[in-house]
Copies of this chain bind each other. A is one copy, B any other.
Amino acid sequence: MMIVMKPGATPQQVENVISYVIDLGLTPHLEQGVENVFIGLLGQNYSIPVETLEALEGVQQVTRISQAFKLASRQFQSEDSVFPLAGYNVGGNDIILIAGPCAVESRSQIIETAQAVREAGANALRGGVFKPRTSPYAFQGLGEQGLEFLAEAGQATGMPVVAEIVSETQLEVMLKYVDVLQIGARNMQNFYLLSAVGQVRTPVLLKRGPAATIEEFLMSAEYILTGGNRHVILCERGIRTFETTTRNTTDINAIPALKALSHLPVILDPSHSTGLSEYVPAVARAAIAAGADGLIIEVHPDPPRALSDGRQSLTPEQFAELMHQIRAIAEAMSRKIARVGHNLSDGW
């Protein structure tokens, strides 16, 4: 970190800054320039907010040279994080393909969908049971019964299951049923929830908030990592911009940027990032071509009858067609779709 003092800063102001940073446990490094005094800071400075230093008298500008996050960074760990999930690896050469409905609506709906996406080549099953909805009048999810149905569908098809947790009070019940805990976009900065999932060892799929910068996204991952849970999957799901043709704007730049800044696996959710089922295949292919480690895609047996997100859900047939396209792009990238099947007899 580098502090630039104002041209006319007094010796007393410089001294104040120096004693202030020493109190923070940092080593200041003074340099008298021609117009400005510069103070370099050595030590564990990722914990010091820039704005605090900028509030000191006589300070003109503070520049962070190293990053504000540590455990999530490539500097901390240069090789990719890879961890096992249901007999395959997340984050290595294989591609994870999570599919399923926005919400678990009934036992038959989730089992039917699970079988269809499994047959098409998905290797994990998603389904929401506690739905955070913009309107208090909208369907709010099946709760624990939904978890039971989801877990049953996962077991029947040999796929690990992913569901969203929206409050730390649900952690115990979620852990009984799910293989991956999802933190939704609206909760990306629910720090109590992040800390709670940092205490367990179940993998966490962390979605980027619609207005979160890439740095803030990695800071939220850092909350989980500092708790000791190293199994974090980063998920780009579109950001909010002025464009209204699509529900969100897919930040495809985030794929190479996150891969460069962090060692964590990175996936994309083209269903939310576009909001329109007809654009999902193009953006799903783009993500794999950009180097994403996987996708999470909404599939519903009858999208117009879906209780939520019907407009962005693929039919099982559309999903199967997309899987063919994804395989072709993955091959061009010298990668392949991970396969489950260890507890299935049919050799899929």
Contacts and interface: CB of A to CB of B under 8 A. Distances in A.
Interface string A268-299: 00000111011101110111111100000000
Interface string A166-206: 11110000000000000000110111100100000000000
Interface stretch (A76-84, A116-124, A156-164, A249-257): A249-257
Interface in A301-316: 303-313
Contacts of A342: none
Copies in the complex: 4
B167 A242 contact: no
A11 interface: no
A166 B189 contact: no
A313 B195 CA distance: 28
A330 to B, nearest CB: 9
Interface stretch (A92-100, A107-115, A128-136, A143-151): A128-136
Contacts of A135: 46-47, 49, 68-69, 219, 222
A249 B240 contact: no
A2 interface: yes
Interface residues on A, range: 35 or more
B38 A2 contact: yes
A61 interface: yes
Contacts of A343: none
A55 B310 CA distance: 6
Interface of A: 2, 4, 20, 29, 31, 33-36, 38, 40, 42, 46-47, 49, 51-52, 54-57, 60-61, 63, 65, 68-69, 132-138, 166-169, 186-187, 189-192, 195, 209-211, 213-216, 219, 222-223, 226, 239-246, 249-257, 260-261, 273-275, 277-279, 281-283, 285-291, 303-313, 328-329, 331-333
Given A211-B242, A241-B241, 13 more contacts: A29-B34, A49-B138, A57-B304, A61-B63, A135-B222, A136-B226, A166-B191, A210-B211, A244-B244, A245-B254, A253-B273, A286-B290, A328-B333
9 contacts: A2-B38, A38-B40, A61-B63, A63-B63, A132-B189, A135-B222, A136-B222, A136-B226, A213-B245
